[in-house]
Amino acid sequence: MRPKGISGNAGFTLMEILIGITIFTIIATVIYSSLNAGIRIWNRSNRMIAGLQSARVFFALASSDLRNAIIYDTKGINFEGSPSGMAFMTVVTAAGKEYTQGPELVKVAYYLDSRTETVKRAVAGKAKGFDTGKAKPATLFTGVRGKDFSFEYYYTSEFTKTGCEWKDEWADTGKVPAGVRIKVKGFTRYIFIPTGEPGGEIED
């Protein structure tokens, strides 16, 4: 015999099913939100790590090239500098078909390619006539817009407390600047050049 009050067709009522679905939906939503937040944090962390890595490589190369910059032509152009690019003669240690195994004199150019929003480095040795336009550039930074990138050059100034100022054009092409300030995607690096001179009036 069945106890009183228990029907032979015992089961879930519509209300119980709706409550169960609601509880399941809430749990699923919480799990999905947590998972989605975790994925977003992971992606953001990866982008930050990639940016730091790119910055490290970029600044290491630029520092090495600038500190080895030389005066190649005492009466010609030795350094070209604008807000979005710079080119100069330097000594690098490279290996490959175009270079010897030891130190090699090359012309190197760093510039922002606004079309692809990338920062590039082109290196041309004697085999290419020191023409960086003939060299295949390497991409150092991606996703860079004009407002996120700039080169500035060291000038003497009698109007500042420090006695110097940074300008975004290098006018003394016969010289190598004493320093270059580089800004890219929130990173800033000051690179001082042992063989360089502050910008200003060139003495005869």
Say if 142 falls within a structural domain: yes
- The pLDDT of residue 47: 62
- Structural domain range at position 146: 56-192
CA distance 66 to 91: 9
Say if 14 falls within a structural domain: no
Q: Confirm if 62 and 110 have CB atoms less than 8 A apart.
A: yes
Beta strands at 85-93 and 103-113: parallel, antiparallel or unpaired: antiparallel
Say if 143 falls within a structural domain: yes
Say if 44 falls within a structural domain: no
Say if 18 falls within a structural domain: no
pTM comes to: 0.71
What are 23's two structure tokens?
A: 């509880």
pLDDT per residue, tens digit, the chain (204 aa), is 445 555 555 667 888 888 888 888 888 888 888 888 777 777 676 665 666 677 888 899 999 999 999 988 877 889 999 999 999 999 987 644 555 556 889 999 999 999 999 999 999 998 899 999 999 999 998 888 888 899 999 998 877 777 789 999 999 888 899 999 999 888 899 999 998 998 875 443
Say if 165 falls within a structural domain: yes
Say if 5 falls within a structural domain: no
CA distance 194 to 180: 12
Domain tally, the chain: 1
- The pLDDT of residue 186: 86
What's the full length of the chain, in residues?
204
Say if 76 falls within a structural domain: yes
- The pLDDT of residue 115: 93
CA distance 73 to 118: 30
Please list the residues that pair with 197 across neighbouring strands: 177
